[in-house]
Amino acid sequence: MPDPTSSNTDEELNTAKQVKLENVGALSREQLTPEAAAEPEGHDVPGHDHAGHDHPAGKKVVDLAGKAADEHAGHDHASGDDHDHGQVGANPYLWPGMSLALLLGGLALDYYDVAWFTSYVRLAWYGVAFLLVGWKVLKAAVLSIPSGNVFNEFLLMSIATLGAFAIGEYPEGVAVMLFYTVGELFQDAAVNRAKRSIRALLEIQATEVTVLRGGQSLVLDPKQVQLGDTIEVKPGEKVALDGTLVKGPASFNTAALTGESAPQTKQMGEVVLAGMINQESLAQVLVTATYQDTKLAKILAMVQDAVGRKAKTQQFITKFAKVYTPIVVALAVLLVLVPYFVVDDYVFRTWLYRALVFLVISCPCALVISIPLGYFGGIGAASKAGILLKGSNFLDVLREIDTVVMDKTGTLTQGVFAVQQVQPAPGVDPAQLLRLVGALETKSTHPIAKAVVLHVGAAATGVPVENVEEISGHGLRGRVDGRDVLAGNTKLLTKFIVAYPAEVDQVFDSIVVAAIDGKYAGYLTVADAPKADAEQTVRELRADGITKIVMLSGDKDSITQRVAKELGIDEAHGGLLPEDKARYVQQYLDAGRKLAFVGDGVNDAPVVALADVGIAMGGLGSDATIETADVVIQTDHPSKIATARRIARATHSVVWQNIWLAFIVKAVVLALGAGGLATMWEAVFADVGVALLAILNAVRIQRMKF
């Protein structure tokens, strides 16, 4: 619905950055209820997006991320008011229910032609029924006039219903306003349903936390906890802040953050995030991020921003309604005046009635309500699936892409090195090789060394290691359990004149070559394994109409090509610097491709920003990349890219079904109304009925399985 208090709707929505918890999921400002529109500027109103107002200096309110947002004069937003869209205070169904009872009673009295139900009594009866549901609309129409935003839905409804009263069609005037109000209540229910999945995310922040300080347990607000504090998380409690587990292991329910139902077991030293729920044993977490810097707080900020960023279809409808409404009013006026000059038996009352019917039919609420609701439903469905979109506009872009470019490490692969193969030299015991190499590698902090130690496990524990020398760019040398051991790359063996088989140089993966007592003893390959759903991702994207799938990696080209071949990727390039990745992406963009880039590392941030839609892996991804991205996949599962595409297509389909439904029905009934073949009752269906059908269609997105 047009907002009678603002002529800068687009600018306000585009600058919406701080939105309160109770307003996340509220409709955009064009869709205010009459009571909201009727409130003066600067007042906190139901369903109202608070962006775009000037607020008094010095006033503030803490938003979901703990940051200073805004506060309207004289109204503290932190007070916990419920800003649900719709009527405030009393039961919202009370006045419509009373109005309906009076309308039905009046129709019965008219039908039985009761003697006393005439003249002023009849007018008063229907007048009360009308005012019970219509006074807020009338108020909104009047208050919209000074701002210059005259041609809105409230004015159309007011003219049509008051006109019906002026010509004595009292029941029809009441019915139009009553059904309009009922439509608003249905809209409220639909909006609240669309909010639920996002509200579930917003409400997972802990409100208190147990902090261990000076041997005491203190229960504090999470905002008061400092970096380096240790917090205690009991079974069943939510983790309040990001940190590392210092007392464990512990099992955590991460469904609220990732959408995955399977619990995750964390070992000591592993990262634990705010919003996770401790399931079994008492856990202690060393805090590494303040309240406003947790990943959860940043996720909530992303969800808030998504409310204010409009898709192209929404922007079109907003602009369309601003042009469409005055044209309709002008046509209604002409429908009254022109027949006077061309019709022989012109009756003013007849043509006024037709014009009023025309006005009711023409209300664009089916479009202005259901389209943003459809997009919001798409955002909600995506968040339920662990996909965060920073704006409904990206639903349109995701649907349009034909090229997906992906990073390798951490995106398509697990981002964790693991031993893939152990190949001992002839006559060398594999267990002995692993024991000696593993013990030596415990003295290194290199990621490959850590992978070897993890693979060897307890076999390397307690083995005496001495005289260790780390040779930069080569590997390690030392005495292990009384034997001289070399472990590193082939350059290390060459340096110490140890011969090795030629086929070792043909191994593509990262390799740890070993020598024991001056003789070649074998090698271990270490690689980053593809994610379980990586091959499925490529297969689903191709089936979904993506014509080009590319992998760009900083890893050496031989490894990149092997992974690409294994996953069935069309094109792959390895050994790239960040600027090389950007160059490739720019080439695809220059060729006219609509492109999504998926990455997780800091080096991916520039390319994520360059793409038509940038997608970040939110679990392991760097803060810089997540901040830059348009879409964040919380589960780190690349297959969610295809899921996001399916949600985008479903949203687009529903939105355009609503547009065509509204246009076709309104066009037919407008023609009938202009010809005198449609009454106010048909007008009610063309307006409120179509709006309700469109709303019901829009909420289907919440029920769809993706």
Structure-token pair, residue 148 = 């210059």
β-pairing, 250-253 with 264-266?
antiparallel
What order of strands is seen across the sheet that includes strand 483-488? 413-424, 519-530, 510-516, 483-488, 475-480, 465-471
Give, in order, the Cα–Cα distances in Å from 620 to each of 209, 264, 413, 623.
25, 14, 12, 9
Look at residue 475 and give its three-state secondary structure. strand
The partner residues of 404 in beta bridges, in order of sequence, read: 549, 596
Compute the chain's Rg from CA coordinates. 33
Q: How far is it, in rounded angstroms, from Cα 360 to Cα 364?
A: 9
Q: SS3 for 86?
A: coil
Comparing C-alpha atoms, which of 140, 185, 186, 178 is closest to residue 161? 178
Dist. CA 73–CA 86, nearest whole Å = 22
- What DSSP string describes 651-663? HHHHHHHHHHHHH
Query: Can you say whether the dihedral through the CA atoms of 482, 483, 488, 494 is positive or negative?
Result: positive
Beta strands 519-530 and 387-389 are unpaired
- Is 484 tagged catalytic? no
Nearest residue to 241 via CA among 315, 192, 292: 292
Q: What is the largest CA-CA distance in the chain?
A: 119
CB distance 351 to 367 below 8 Å: no
- Amino acid, single-letter form, for residue 594: K
Choose, from 407, 533, 604, 630, the residue flagged as catalytic.
407
How many other C-beta atoms are found inside a 10 Å radius of the C-beta of residue 24? 21
The three-state secondary structure class of 321 is helix
CA distance 643 to 645: 5
As a whole number of angstroms, the distance between CA 387 and CA 642 comes to 11
Angstrom CA distances, 625 to 295, 577, 598, stand at: 13, 16, 10
Q: Judge whether 566 and 590 are in contact, CB under 8 Å.
A: no
Question: Which positions ≥6 away from 375 have C-beta within 8 Å?
Answer: 310, 311, 313, 314, 392, 395, 651, 655
Q: In whole angstroms, give the CA distance from residue 485 to residue 385.
A: 50
- Rounded CA-CA distance 34/48 in Å is 11
Four-residue CA torsion sign, 319, 27, 629, 650: negative
Return the number of other C-beta atoms located less than 10 Å from residue 324's C-beta.
15
Would you say 437 and 524 are in contact if contact means Cβ atoms under 8 Å apart? yes
d(CA 498, CA 491): 10
Beta bridge partners of 277: 238, 253
With contact defined as beta carbons under 8 Å apart, do 198 and 383 qualify? Answer: yes
What residues are annotated to the active site? 407
